Amino acid sequence: MGYASLKMIHVTSVAISYLLFSLRGIWMMQESTVLQQRWVKITPHVVDTVLLTSAIALAIMIHQDPINNSWLSAKITGLLLYIGLGMTALKYGKTRKTRISAWIAAQVVFLYIVLVALTKSPTLFS
Ligand code: HEM
């Protein structure tokens, strides 16, 4: 598969992942039972697997790696933070306040990852 198509798959899965995460946060705040539906539990895993697989393939194709290229280390660190905050927001957060705070923090981290992707710099100044 060509680089451009793979990048399109990566960016599309990024957009769907973000949309699903945001929706699940809204359903969490509304205490909606939609959150318990099977597709809502499974689809994010499928989308996130595509996101990560395409990310790794892109990095390999452009011969960049997280040890030598700090923007990639920043993306991976950001992704781990985003996952941790997402788990707190949607599953492990004990109080409503914790869950909503974690959801907002995850939104900020997500924005940071997108800006790192666009600037190719962990400080966002290229
Ligand atoms: C939630 C996590 C992620 C988000 C939001 C995200 C976002 C993006 C975006 C918006 C682009 C397009 C940039 C452009 O148009 O120039 C991109 C490209 C890319 N991403 Fe990600 N990404 C994520 C995770 C990752 C991870 C974990 C890696 C590394 C293993 C990665 C590696 C790449 C690579 C190599 C490109 C192509 C860069 C280029 O061709 O200019 N991404 N990402």
Q: Is residue 126 pLDDT above 90, yes or no?
A: no
- DSSP 8-state symbol, 35: G
- Please report whether residue 114 resides in a domain: yes
Nearest to 99 by CA among 27, 16, 46: 27
Return the pLDDT at 101. 98
Crossing angle of the two packed helices 70-87 and 38-61, in degrees rounded to 10: 170
Cα→Cα distances 39→34, 45, 46, 67, Å: 9, 10, 10, 36
pLDDT in tens, 29-88: 999 999 999 999 999 999 999 999 999 999 999 999 999 999 999 999 999 999 999 999
Return the pLDDT at 24. 97
Tokens of 125: 């100044």
- Please report whether residue 126 resides in a domain: no
CA of 12 to the centre of ligand 1 (A): 11
Return the pLDDT at 116. 97
Query: What is the number of structural domains in the chain?
Result: 1
Amino acid sitting at position 123: T
**Which residues have CB under 6 Å of ligand 1?**
7, 10-11, 14, 55-56, 58-59, 62, 72, 75-76, 79, 82, 110, 113-114, 117-118
Nearest to 23 by CA among 125, 103, 110, 126: 103
Domain with 20 in it = 3-119
Return the pLDDT at 47. 96
Say if CB 126 and CB 119 are below 8 A apart.
Answer: yes
Q: Is residue 25 pLDDT above 90, yes or no?
A: yes
Tokens of 67: 């040890």
pLDDT in tens, 80-109: 999 999 999 999 999 999 999 999 999 999
